[in-house]
Structure 1
Amino acid sequence: MVIPQVLTIAGSDSGGGAGIQADLKTFQMRGVFGTSVITAVTAQNTLGVFDIHPIPLASIQAQLRAVAKDFSISAVKIGMLGNTEIIQCVADCLEQYQFSHIVLDPVMIAKGGATLLEQSAVAALKNLILPKACLITPNIPEAERITGTQIKNEADIFNAAQIFHELGANTVVIKGGHHNNSQSKLCKDWVFTQKGYFTLEAPRFATPHTHGTGCTFSACLTAELAKGKPVEQAVRTAKNYITAAIGHPLNIGHGHGPTNHWAYQNEQD
């Protein structure tokens, strides 16, 4: 039996709810072997982010080199990159190692509001990383920053998706957790492929325990693609996975608590 091997390139979350930690937990639960390249070490918990230490570029390069030389990576998830220099470094390495199935989660703001991507780095992310991604998973605020548009309604979402396609992304998942937040009992996501689009809906849970939802969703997507699942099936599994993770909270911490990474497996059992 060949175990699919995947890579996450992201920041470390000392609270364990997001970033590298959430990715590796998700990979494990979805039956793939996870490797990692850490771009930044953060001091954070459910109450906020208190310190960010970017990893030196030479160390990021060394981590990528070590993983690429020894593992057969079937899919890559990219999360927090932080600044322009790290984005350039990662882009150069992606060009060198030619990984397939790159999923970009354009991490910009932490759940508590801390900035995780410098404003000056947005253009670098858009020009250097996004065109290499087969799939991008922005929430609405992230989609607005990258496309330079305002998203107030569904027509705006379609317009943003078109811009993403023009920038080079094959598949765009615009997550609707920030859309009509107080008016709808459902959380709706829009999935745009080269062939068309479809939507996914799930219950909207009134809970503060949503730390790491974007990381977890994109990590699950990456795992499913690594297993050879078609894009639509991978997205649907990821949606079901994160819905279960939010819907069965762990009630850990005093702020925005982490999601439940084993809830989906428990539902399947």
Structure 2
Amino acid sequence: MNFLPLTPPGQAPLRVMTIAGSDSGGGAGIQADLRTFALLGVHGCVSVAAVTVQNSVGVKAFHEVPVDVVAGQIRAVAEDIGIQAAKTGMLASSEIIGAVADTWRDLYAEGLAPPLVVDPVCASMHGDPLLHPSALDAMRNELFPLATLVTPNLDEVLLITGIEVVDATTQRDAAKALHALGPKWALVKGGHLRSSSHSPDLLFDGTDFHEFDAERIDTPHDHGAGDTLAAATASALAHGYSVPDAVAFGKRWITECLRAAYPLGHGHGPVSALFRLAT
């Protein structure tokens, strides 16, 4: 695949921020985002929103970072270093979501807010909750209207819209419902759509649909797939890609990361961006 261009040594690369949770097992969250950023040649910045107690088997507990610290991390980086794109992951609570949204609105008013990819993380792949139920309304009402792109998986689509995606028709219904919540673009990922032998993703901007298909990689090791897709898409947006082109790039990236996934611990191993080191 065609990778994003690397910055010559000694020159500052583009900067992309992840606003998300830390995964102690290193498979998902901020750790997965930073791996993708580094291997795509962008400088990763972080706002840690939560710290999880997690391994390959599941999430044992999580601790929320104080809201002023979450907001302060974003502002400190934006005002000094500058960011060309950002993505969110686990935000844990309505208070944190509200703080991120308030900060983003302020940065937008100051001309400092870049494209924002919202990956609405609600639960881990094991089904462990990563978002307090009361926070769903904050996600819908406060954060989605600020998003350039939202990237839920099918379980998250059901929680957010109430639509169970089982085929192409309900996937389109879900994309319309997500877009009605305010993002510029809505992506309904089809990796969990077991009625298809492939992995069909659907992108919608309120007028046109864009379809992205890829082979389904047969692996149990897909921890961090959603984070990695969103991080790659945000990296492409930082390079000035259009949203459809950035999603297409992210789709190709995560397909290769799934192909390179490896076992880890006693549960689900992570997708692997490390494949680029061999190219």
* TM-score interval, smaller chain: over 0.9
Q: Deviations over 1:42-93 (max 9, x none)?
A: 0111111111000111221221222122112111101111111111111111
1:193 aligns with 2:208: no
Amino acid at match of 1:242: I
Aligned residue number for residue 134 of structure 1: 148
Name which of structure 1's ranges 195-204 and 40-49 shifts more when overlaid on structure 2: 195-204
Aligned length: 265
Aligned residue number for residue 235 of structure 2: 223
1:233 aligns with 2:245: yes
**Structure 1: runs of 5 or more not aligned:** none
Task: Decide which structure has greater strand share.
Answer: 1
1:117 aligns with 2:117: no
TM-score (norm 1): 0.94
1:244 aligns with 2:262: no
Q: Distance in 2 between matches of 1:122 and 1:214?
A: 18
Q: Distance in 2 between matches of 1:264 and 1:135?
A: 26
Aligned residue number for residue 104 of structure 1: 118
TM-score (norm 2): 0.91
Aligned residue number for residue 160 of structure 2: 146
Instruction: Tell me the SS of whatever aligns to 2:96.
Output: helix
Amino acid at match of 1:106: P
Backbone CA RMSD of aligned residues: 1.4
1:31 CA displacement: 1.2
Q: Distance in 1 between matches of 2:12 and 2:52?
A: 34
Q: Distance in 2 between matches of 1:264 and 1:126?
A: 36
Q: 1:240 to 1:265 in 2, by over 3 A?
A: farther
Instruction: Tell me the SS of whatever aligns to 2:84.
Output: strand
Instruction: Tell me the SS of whatever aligns to 1:164.
Output: helix
1:265 CA displacement: 6.0
The structure 1 segments of at least 4 consecutive aligned residues displaced by more than 6 Å after TM superposition are none
8 Å contact kept, 2:260–2:273: no
Name which of structure 1's ranges 102-111 and 156-165 shifts more when overlaid on structure 2: 156-165
Q: 1:61 to 1:198 in 2, by over 3 A?
A: closer
Instruction: State the percentage of identical aligned residues.
Output: 41
8 Å contact kept, 2:176–2:206: no
Aligned residue number for residue 28 of structure 1: 38
Name which of structure 1's ranges 125-134 and 202-211 shifts more when overlaid on structure 2: 202-211
**Structure 2: runs of 5 or more not aligned:** 1-10
Q: Distance in 1 between matches of 2:14 and 2:127?
A: 35
Q: Distance in 2 between matches of 1:257 and 1:22?
A: 12
